[in-house]
Amino acid sequence: MQSEEEKIGDLGLEEKEAIVVRFAGDSGDGMQLTGNNFTQATALYGNDLSTFPDFPAEIRAPVGATFGVSAFQIHFGAEDISTAGDDIDVLVAMNPAALVTNLENVAEGGLVIVDRGAFTAKNLNKAQYDSNPLEDGTLEGYRLLSIDIHKQVLAAVEPFGLSHKDGLRCKNIWTLGLIMWLFDRDRSVTIKNLKSKFANDPTVAEANIAALNAGHAYGETAELPVGIHVYKIPKAKVISGTYRNISGMQALAWGFLAGSELANIDLLFASYPITPASSLLHELANRKEFRVNTFQAEDEIAAVCAAIGASFAGSLGITSSAGPGIALKAEGISLAAASELPLVIVNTQRGGPSTGLPTKTEQSDFNMALFGRHGDTPIPVIAAATSADCFDVAIEAVRLATKYMTPVMLLSDGYLANSSEPWKIPDFDSFASFKVKHYDDPKDFKPSIRDEETKARVWAKPGTPGMEHRIGGIERSFDTGDISYDPENHQKMTDLRKYKVENISSDIPLQEISYGNDSGKLAVVGWGSTYGVIHQAVKRAVKEGLQVSHIQVRYLAPMPSNLGQLLSSFDAVLVPEMNTGQFIRMLRSEFLVEAEGLNKVSGQPFKINEILASIYKKYKGLEG
Amino acid sequence: MDQSLPTLTFKDFATDQEVRWCPGCGDFAILKTIQKVMPNLNRPKENQVFVSGIGCASRFPYYMNTFGFHTIHGRAPAIATGVKLANPELDVWVITGDGDGFSIGGNHMMHMIRRNVDLQILLFNNEIYGLTKGQYSPTSQTGTLSPSSPAGSIDSPLSPCLVSLGSGGTFIARSIDTESKHLSQIIERGSKHCGSSFIEILQNCPIYNDGIFEQVKNKKLAADFRVEVNHGDPIIFGKDNKKGIKLNRESLSLEVVPVAGNEDQLLKHDERNKVQAQLLASMKGPDFPIAVGVLYKEERNLFIEDNQKQLRKHRSEKGSVKKLLESGDTWQVK
Task: Kindly report, residue by residue over B186-195, the tens digit of the pLDDT.
Answer: 999 999 999 9
Three-point CA angle B67, B69, B73, nearest 5° = 160
| Interchain proximity A40–B315, CB inside 8 Å | no
Contact A410, A347 (CB under 8 A): yes
Closest chain B C-alpha to A387 CA, distance in angstroms: 14
Q: Given a cut of 90, is residue A284 above it in pLDDT? A: yes
Distance from CA of A80 to the nearest CA of B (A): 15
Query: From CA B86, how far away is CA A106, in angstroms rounded?
Result: 52
Q: Determine, for residues B322 and A261 on separate chains, whether the beta-carbon distance falls below 8 Å.
A: no
Cβ(A385)–Cβ(A554) below 8 Å = yes
> Shortest Cα distance from A533 to chain B (angstroms)?
25
Q: Give residue A229's identity as a one-letter amino acid code.
A: H
> B71 and A245: CB-CB below 8 Å?
no
Phi, psi of A604 (to 5 degrees): -110, 150
Q: Determine if the peptide bond prior to A342 is cis (ω within 30°).
A: no
Q: Along the 334 residues of chain B, how does pLDDT read in single tens digits?
A: 455 778 899 999 999 999 999 999 999 999 999 999 999 999 999 999 999 999 999 999 999 999 999 999 999 999 999 999 999 999 999 999 999 999 999 999 999 999 999 999 999 999 999 999 999 999 999 999 999 999 999 999 999 999 999 999 999 999 999 999 999 999 999 999 999 999 999 999 999 999 999 999 999 999 999 999 999 999 999 999 999 999 999 999 999 999 999 999 999 999 999 999 999 999 999 999 999 999 999 999 999 999 999 999 999 889 999 999 999 888 888 7
**Cα-to-chain-centroid distance, residue A391:** 12
The fraction of chain A above a pLDDT of 70, given in percent, is 97
* Interface touch A468/B334, C-beta < 8 Å: no
> What is the nearest CA distance from A336 to chain B, expressed in angstroms?
9
Torsion of CA B53, B58, B60, B61, to 10 degrees: 20
* List of chain B residues whose C-beta atoms are within 8 Å of the C-beta of residue A286: none
C-beta separation of A270 from A297 below 8 A: yes
Question: Testing the interface with A: which of B18, B305, B325 to mutate, by most A Cβ within 10 A?
Answer: B325
Does residue A3 surpass a pLDDT of 50? no
Q: How many CB atoms lie within 10 A of CB A444?
A: 6
Q: Do A244 and B331 touch (CB under 8 A)?
A: yes
Instruction: Give the pairing of strands A69-77 and A420-424.
Output: unpaired
Contact B326 A244 (CB under 8 A): yes
pLDDT digits 0-9 by tens, A197-256: 999 999 999 999 999 999 999 999 988 887 788 888 888 888 899 999 899 999 999 999
Record: contact B71-A305, CB cut-off 8 A: yes
Contact in structure between A310 and A356 (CB atoms under 8 Å): no
| DSSP state letters, A11-40 | --GGG-SEEEEEEEEETTS-HHHHHHHHHH
Q: A227, A185, A240: which is closest to A37 by C-alpha?
A: A185
Task: Kindly indicate the confidence band of residue A9, based on its pLDDT and cuts at 50, 70 and 90.
Answer: very low
- Inter-residue contact A86 to A112 (CB < 8 Å): no
Chain A CB within 8 Å of residue B94 CB: no
H, E, C per residue of A335-395: HHHHCCCCEEEEEEECECCCCCECCCCCCCCHHHHHHCCCCCCCCCEEECCCCCHHHHHHH
Q: How many CA atoms lie within 13 A of B301 on its CB side?
A: 6
- Backbone dihedral angles phi then psi of residue A70, each to the nearest 5 degrees: -115, 135
pLDDT, residue A61, reads 76
Helices (H), ranges, chain B: 26-41, 76-86, 98-99, 106-115, 160-166, 180-192, 214-217, 219-225, 274-282, 303-314, 321-325
Other Cβ atoms less than 10 A from the Cβ of A161: the count is 10
The number of C-beta contacts closer than 8 angstroms across A and B is 206
Which residue of A257, A295, A466 is in closest CB contact with B324? A257
pLDDT tier at A15, thresholds 50, 70, 90: low
Q: Provide the 3-class DSSP secondary structure of residue A157.
A: helix
- Please indicate whether, in this complex, the C-beta atoms of A483 and B81 are within 8 angstroms of each other: no
Q: What is the DSSP secondary-structure string of A179-233?
A: HHHHTT---HHHHHHHHHHTTT-HHHHHHHHHHHHHHHHHHHHS-PPTT-S---P
C-alpha to C-alpha distance for A330 and A316, rounded to whole angstroms? 18
Partner A contacted by B282 (CB < 8 A): no
**Under a CB-based contact definition with an 8 Å cutoff, are residues A597 and A584 in contact?**
yes
Helix (H) or strand (E) holding A3, with range, is helix A2-8
DSSP letter assigned to residue B289 = P
pLDDT over threshold 50, residue A7: no
Distance CA A262, CA A277 (A): 24
Closest-CA residue of chain A to B112: A298
Q: Residue B322: which residues within 8 A CB-CB, separation 6 or more?
A: A428, A429
**Do residues A35 and A51 touch, judged by C-beta distance below 8 A?**
yes
Cα–Cα dist A600/A608, whole Å:
13
When mean pLDDT is compared across A49-53, A54-58, A116-120, the lowest value belongs to A54-58
A232, exposed or middle or buried, with CB in 10 Å at 0-12, 13-18, 19+?
exposed
DSSP state at residue B103: I
- Is the pLDDT reported for residue A623 higher than 60? yes
What angle separates helix A188-197 from helix A202-221, to the nearest 10 degrees?
A: 150
Record: contact A258-B78, CB cut-off 8 A = no
Residues A28-40 pLDDT 10s: 899 999 999 999 9
In terms of CA atoms, which chain A residue is nearest residue B13? A468
B265 touches chain A (CB under 8 A): no
* Cis amide bond preceding A353, omega within 30: yes
CB-based contact A345:A303 (threshold 8 Å): no
- Helix, strand, coil shares of chain B as percentages rounded to 5? 35, 20, 40
pLDDT of residue A410: 98
CB contact under 8 A, A464 and B75: no
Q: Which of B46, B90, B318 minimises the CB distance to A468?
A: B46
* pLDDT tens profile A405-440: 999 999 999 999 998 899 999 999 999 999 999 999
Instruction: Tell me the chain A residues in contact with residue B108 when contact means C-beta distances shorter than 8 Å.
Output: 298, 301-302, 305
Q: Which positions in chain B touch A295 (Cβ < 8 Å)?
A: 81-82, 85
Q: What is the pLDDT of residue B1?
A: 46
Helices (H) and strands (E) in chain A, counts: 21, 20
Q: Which of A57-71, A389-403, A548-562, B23-37 is predicted with the least confidence, judged by mean pLDDT?
A: A57-71
Q: Do B83 and A254 touch (CB under 8 A)?
A: no
What is the structure's pLDDT at A8?
Answer: 36
The whole-angstrom separation of Cα A594 and Cα A63 is 50
CA B90 vs CA A317, A463, B97, B118: distances in Å: 17, 7, 23, 10
Asked if A88 and A105 touch (Cβ cutoff 8 Å), the reply is yes
* CA of A243 vs chain B CAs: smallest distance (Å): 5
Looking at residue A2, its pLDDT comes to: 35
CA A532 to chain centre: 11
| Burial state string for A61-95 with b = 16 or more CB within 10 A and e = fewer than 16 | bebbbbebbbbbbbbbbbeebbbbbbebbbbbbbb
- For chain A, say whether B78 makes contact (Cβ under 8 Å): yes
8-state DSSP, B136: B
Say how many Å lie between the first and final Cα of chain B, rounded. Answer: 63
CB atoms within 10 A of CB B16: 8
Mean pLDDT over A268-278 rounds to 96
Contact across the interface for B72 and A470, Cβ inside 8 Å: no
Bridge partner residues of A471 (DSSP)? B69
Beta strands A267-271; A292-296: pairing state: parallel
Q: Which of A470, A474, A475, A480 to mutate to test the interface with B (most CBs of B within 10 A)?
A: A470
Chain B CB contacts of A426 below 8 Å: 325
Nearest CA to A22 out of A50, A61, A1 is that of A50
pLDDT at A11 > cutoff 80: no
Residue by residue, DSSP assigns B180-192 as HHHHHHHHHHHHH
